[in-house]
Every structure is written in structure tokens, then in C-alpha cells.
């Protein structure tokens, strides 16, 4: 088993990515927004995985900081979609709560 597979934040981020994929499959989102959300969501998960493979604390922290930035980027996309009436309020709140939890968990890893 790889180290990242043991992290609760990785597991939650993987579930978040599955939810994002489902959302994108069910909704008509313009190609640019679709691609940006997809890449930002993957970036959270992939940077967590890559960070665990680093040997020094500063290297690990850097990847967790990037992952947290990608979580913020995802929320900005969902906020935009809400303003464009492309997402229901309950869907927005679902993703907001998931990203808030992931962000807090990453913040704890960054400060560890």
C-alpha cells in the first residue's frame, strides 16, 4: 500500500472526484469550465499523492499547498456556476461542504 492511500484526506478527495465526474456527466457545462473543474479536482488528489512521495517536509508541504489551492479553484468554479444558474443550490452546498472539509484537512497537513 502506498502512503497516500492511508490518508483520510486522499480518500475524501477521491470520493469528491467521483462526485464531480457524476455532476459533469449530468449537466451541460461549457467545455472550458468543464475542463477547468475536472483538472482542478484531479489536481487536489494527484498533489496529495505526489506530496506523500517526497522526502522532505518542505517538499511535502509544497504539494499540499498546491492541492489546497486547487480546492479553492474548484470552489470558485462552483461559485461561478451558481451565479450562472448552472448548478442547484443544494448541489452547490454539497460541493462547498466537501471542499471545506478537504481544505481544512489539507491545512492540518500543511501545518504538521
pLDDT digits (tens, 9 = 90+) for 2-20: 999 999 999 999 999 999 9
- For the entire predicted model, the pTM comes to 0.95
Fold observed for domain 3-110: de novo design (two linked rop proteins) (1.20.1440)
Burial of 78 (0-12, 13-18, 19+ CB in 10 A): buried
**What's the length of the chain?**
112
- Which residues are CB-neighbours of 87 under 8 A, at least 6 positions away? 23, 27, 78, 81
3-state SS assignment for residue 84: coil
Tell me the pLDDT band of 112, cut-offs 50, 70 and 90.
confident
Amino acid at each position: 500500500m502506498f502512503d497516500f492511500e492511508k490518508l483520510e484526506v486522499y480518500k475524501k478527495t477521491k470520493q469528491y472526484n467521483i462526485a464531480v465526474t457524476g455532476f459533469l456527466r449530468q449537466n451541460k457545462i461549457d467545455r472550458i469550465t468543464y475542463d477547468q473543474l475536472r483538472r482542478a479536482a484531479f489536481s487536489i488528489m494527484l498533489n496529495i499523492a505526489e506530496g506523500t512521495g517526497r522526502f522532505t517536509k518542505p517538499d511535502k508541504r509544497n504539494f499540499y499547498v498546491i492541492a489546497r489551492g486547487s480546492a479553492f479553484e474548484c470552489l470558485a468554479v462552483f461559485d461561478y456556476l451558481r451565479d450562472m444558474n448552472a448548478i442547484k443550490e443544494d448541489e452547490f452546498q454539497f460541493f462547498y461542504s466537501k471542499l471545506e472539509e478537504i481544505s481544512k484537512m489539507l491545512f492540518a497537513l500543511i501545518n504538521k
